Structure 1
Amino acid sequence: MTIAAPGPTSSATVTDKGAGPLLRAWRERRRISQLELALRAESSARHISFVETGRSRPSEKLLLRLAEHLDVPVRERNTLLMAAGYAPRFAETPLDDPALDALRDGMQRLIQGYEPYPALVVDAGYTVVAANRGIAMLLEGVSAELMTPAPNAMRLTLHPLGLAPRIRNLREWRGHLLAQMEREIALYRSGRLRALYEEVSAYPVPGEGGGEEPAEPVPYFALPMRIEHGGRLLSFVSSISTFNTPMDVTVAELAIETFLPADPATAAYLHALAG
């Protein structure tokens, strides 16, 4: 697959009560006291209290510093700024914009260089914006309706017409993915992500195809996805990478997921296919 532009991710709406209520919500979500936040941001608990109650309007610099210490996502930092009456600081450049040519080329080279192992790039809503031939191999036999117009990694994995029937430890892997989405919903407060979660969590769980797990499972260093392909049982552990200190909303919401063979047999099989 080649890189495609992701759709917009829904965000919290700007209120007419200033940035205070939004800031308080983020602080409470992070379970940080006003005093602790003040110490981190080199302010005072009194001033933080005044900001949260609307008695004081924070400077743009202070608001960004508070957002950084609360680990507020880049998209929501713009929301905070606009609620306080400031212009958004972070652009949201379409992924197909020429300004991101170097980024797109770099990601494509990165996932191609990972072959024959699977790797893909997704946006904040799990839309697949790029994938290598290792992913294409795993998706062989997946229903065409899941591949268009924009494939979604969660649907491809958990839908009964997707990979789900071939994943031998589906209940474990499904639980891992749903827990991951729950954490991201709490972080990003995304309506788009919440709708996706409700959809995929409602999919029926098919029988875990291809037989039972062995009586004495092979020990792994991380939870693997155990999936059938071509009559073989392959095992992968996944790793997710994001960009450090992104200055653009689009870039901040991209994630590169790579699948590492969890045993020598899987690695040998993939290299044999590539050869």
Structure 2
Amino acid sequence: MTSTLAEPAAVRTARPRRFVMCRPDHFTVSYEINPWMDRTRAVDAELALAQWETLKATHERLGHVVDVVPGVAGLPDMVYAANGALVTAGGTVGVRFAHPERAGEAEAYARWLEAAGFGPVHRPVEVNEGEGDLLLVGEHLLAGFGFRTTRAAHAEIARVLDRDVVSLRLVDPRFYHLDTALTVLDDDPAHPDVAWFPGAFDAASREVLEDLFPGALRTDEATAAVLGMNAVSDGRHVVLSPAAAQYAELLRGRGYEPVPVDLSELLKGGGGAKCCTLLARS
């Protein structure tokens, strides 16, 4: 594993967050829309719920507020709340899913967010899958495309939010969302920090990330292949897969505190800690 350490063992500060999650009451793998999904592998619904409850309790133990959106029968992937929207200080952008199997989630999340005071929610024309592909890092809005969110959506979001968008092309179908290949470790504009897996991006996008974050931690395929990059950080604590042990050691060396949470059942649908966690306020 390679890494570039700009601030080895730096003192990190946690920032309280407000997260949105959705219980996996209806979670199953009944279709296949990403390489992680396999309908022949049974899902243990009871275990999936227990693992999700552990993730929620972990966020709360770390001092964060968690709101829960009611799940909808027939929408098994609604548990992946990060795909439900992009919530920013400048406005909330709803989603339009690439696959019809998930289409119903868009309005369910938009209505809940508006009722919770995060509206009005912009209903997009172009396909974007929320924080799956749209990640705020300080002053930068990183936007993935190539598998789900379209490049055209980046222009729409830039117009709606009146801010620049940094487009990054994903090239490995295993990492079909940006949040499966890049972790926002610290979103504070004063010292933004990320970790990323170079193999998930094309050459031009790698150059962009190197220019924006010259001291960023770069991970290897072994970490990305267990969805280790799909992690939630509050600026100090990083909630991640226990299978990403080497990544955890690198994070410790950088001053972060890894917090392993097993989401092996939810991984069967192609999601980890970040997929299950929408950042509503930092």
Q: Same fold (TM over 0.5)?
A: no
Instruction: Report which of the two has the higher share of helix.
Output: 1
Point out the structure with max Rg over C-alpha.
1
Instruction: Report which of the two has the higher share of strand.
Output: 2
TM-score by length of 1: 0.30
